[in-house]
Homo-oligomer: A and B are copies of this chain.
């Protein structure tokens, strides 16, 4: 039987919620802008069965996708667990069969033969939603995308881009290029567990493969995100390490090793990978998420939040005693300017305060020069207003902050332009606020110019933890009613 009373699982607002649910016409305070016609899709982790081992990590919790379908001023909510092979097998067994994070050596014998051979079947698809070629997906970097029905969120199965995804894995951070309409994406550990192969792909909007690049990395590190500029690909390689020895020892996939060198790998996106150049970067830091970047002549400028320590205490230092997690890092938004003819880059801090590393631009500016960065932020010294969303002008340093309200915790923000040709910054910030006082989650729409709330969709329950979320216009998902 399912018993969470023992073990490391949180209670209260963060307790496992474990439901599929639907609300056809949500409660709303304020007025939903009638121009909004699309869907806000959230992906996050929730333990359907208690974790097998104490050293498993939150990233192993089952993927749950939830949507706010916004149309004609109304909001409908749907939430559903992704029916991964793992979810299905666990449900049949009535218990957790899968061991620690990305380590099939720790799996239950009943399924281990299968997971050693096909480690991607261990995926929980809990990281990021994607719309591509008219289809909806849930992504996690250890497996191919899993396609979902955009109306019911029912699981349709793994998607291999019509057989063109040669990598065993696919990132949770593919980058749509708004200029070409293509999708740039990649898989690391592309040929198996702890392999140093990274495969990059450019897929056309019709799903066709337009370009592929295969490279190797200096060591097997967490390549959670990357930068695609108008001309280049930038790969951050920092401080996390995965080895087969770790896996055989029953450890979670990643260990934190600040003695490892840091790198940015830079190559042309239209090349064959032979031009890949590794720029030395400070060790003991890491970049999990990126903001954006663009290339111009012999210069490449990119921005990303950088942690000066390990942000994930559940991936402990490889040289430390068990239980010594080290301090949790905080990230600062930095700008990295590469001399493409040289072998160095300049670093400047874009903003002095630490901010959440779930940074976003208006996606119409991906690969291009942008002005605004949006993320969660609470100004130091500000109290009792809950967490905020910041609009940061990365050119002037000017900031504007909207706060959710006392006690409330905001999740990743998305920026929705008011129209296809609206000026940068003209639109809405949308996302979910957790309201522990009411034990419920709320979907908030904030005018991104005025930085004022315009509507709030009230859920009657806690919704899932969110890793990432994306807004898709109705036209991107033609099946969606």
* Chain A residues within CB distance 8 Å of chain B: 1-5, 12, 15-29, 31-32, 48-49, 73-74, 77, 91, 94, 438-439, 458, 460-462
What is the CA–CA distance of A21 and B464 in the complex, to the nearest angstrom?
A: 14
CB-defined contacts of A20 to chain B, threshold 8 Å: 21-23
Whether A27 pairs with B23 at a CB distance below 8 angstroms is no
Nearest Cβ distance between residue A391 and chain B, in whole angstroms? 26
What is the CA–CA distance of A94 and B76 in the complex, to the nearest angstrom?
A: 12
Whether B21 pairs with A21 at a CB distance below 8 angstroms is yes
Give 19 A-B pairs besides A20-B22, A74-B94 with Cβ atoms closer than 8 angstroms.
A1-B28, A1-B32, A2-B27, A3-B28, A4-B27, A15-B460, A17-B460, A17-B461, A18-B23, A18-B27, A19-B22, A19-B23, A20-B23, A24-B91, A25-B49, A25-B91, A25-B94, A460-B462, A461-B462
Chain A, interface SS category: loop
Query: Out of B438, B439, B460, which one reaches A19, CB within 8 Å?
Result: B460
Nearest Cβ distance between residue A2 and chain B, in whole angstroms? 5
Please give the count of copies of this chain that the complex contains.
2
Q: A18-B460, A461-B461 are in contact. Are A31 and B1 (CB under 8 A)?
A: yes
CB-defined contacts of A23 to chain B, threshold 8 Å: 18-20
What is the CA–CA distance of A439 and B460 in the complex, to the nearest angstrom?
A: 11
CB-defined contacts of A24 to chain B, threshold 8 Å: 91
Q: Which of A17, A19, A23, A462 has the most CB of B within 10 A?
A: A19
Nearest Cβ distance between residue A25 and chain B, in whole angstroms? 6
CB-defined contacts of A21 to chain B, threshold 8 Å: 19-22
Whether A27 pairs with B17 at a CB distance below 8 angstroms is no
What is the CA–CA distance of A461 and B29 in the complex, to the nearest angstrom?
A: 22
CB-defined contacts of A73 to chain B, threshold 8 Å: 1
Whether A461 pairs with B19 at a CB distance below 8 angstroms is yes
What is the CA–CA distance of A27 and B94 in the complex, to the nearest angstrom?
A: 11
21 A–B contacts, CB within 8 A, in A order:
A1-B74, A2-B25, A2-B26, A3-B27, A4-B27, A4-B458, A5-B29, A12-B438, A15-B460, A16-B27, A18-B23, A18-B460, A19-B77, A19-B461, A20-B22, A21-B21, A25-B48, A74-B94, A460-B462, A461-B461, A461-B462
CB-defined contacts of A462 to chain B, threshold 8 Å: 460-461
Q: Which residue of B lies closest to A27 (CB)?
A: B2
Q: Which residue of B lies closest to A50 (CB)?
A: B27
Q: Which residue of B lies closest to A72 (CB)?
A: B94
What is the CA–CA distance of A73 and B94 in the complex, to the nearest angstrom?
A: 10
What is the CA–CA distance of A18 and B24 in the complex, to the nearest angstrom?
A: 8
Q: Which of A16, A25, A73 has the most CB of B within 10 A?
A: A25
CB-defined contacts of A460 to chain B, threshold 8 Å: 15-19, 461-462
What is the CA–CA distance of A77 and B20 in the complex, to the nearest angstrom?
A: 10
Q: Which residue of B lies closest to A458 (CB)?
A: B4
What is the CA–CA distance of A22 and B22 in the complex, to the nearest angstrom?
A: 9
What is the CA–CA distance of A458 and B18 in the complex, to the nearest angstrom?
A: 11
Q: Which residue of B lies closest to A17 (CB)?
A: B460
Q: Which residue of B lies closest to A21 (CB)?
A: B21
Q: Which residue of B lies closest to A26 (CB)?
A: B2
What is the CA–CA distance of A28 and B18 in the complex, to the nearest angstrom?
A: 13
Nearest Cβ distance between residue A67 and chain B, in whole angstroms? 14
Query: Out of B4, B77, B439, which one reaches A439, CB within 8 Å?
Result: B439
Q: Which residue of B lies closest to A47 (CB)?
A: B27
What is the CA–CA distance of A27 and B49 in the complex, to the nearest angstrom?
A: 9
What is the CA–CA distance of A15 and B32 in the complex, to the nearest angstrom?
A: 22
What is the CA–CA distance of A77 and B17 in the complex, to the nearest angstrom?
A: 12
Q: Which residue of B lies closest to A93 (CB)?
A: B25
Nearest Cβ distance between residue A369 and chain B, in whole angstroms? 39
CB-defined contacts of A32 to chain B, threshold 8 Å: 1
What is the CA–CA distance of A479 and B4 in the complex, to the nearest angstrom?
A: 32
What is the CA–CA distance of A438 and B16 in the complex, to the nearest angstrom?
A: 13
What is the CA–CA distance of A439 and B124 in the complex, to the nearest angstrom?
A: 28
What is the CA–CA distance of A2 and B20 in the complex, to the nearest angstrom?
A: 22
Nearest Cβ distance between residue A219 and chain B, in whole angstroms? 41
Q: Nearest 4 CB-CB pairs, A to B?
A: A439-B439, A21-B21, A17-B460, A461-B461
What is the CA–CA distance of A49 and B28 in the complex, to the nearest angstrom?
A: 11
Nearest Cβ distance between residue A247 and chain B, in whole angstroms? 29
What is the CA–CA distance of A353 and B460 in the complex, to the nearest angstrom?
A: 37
CB-defined contacts of A26 to chain B, threshold 8 Å: 2, 18
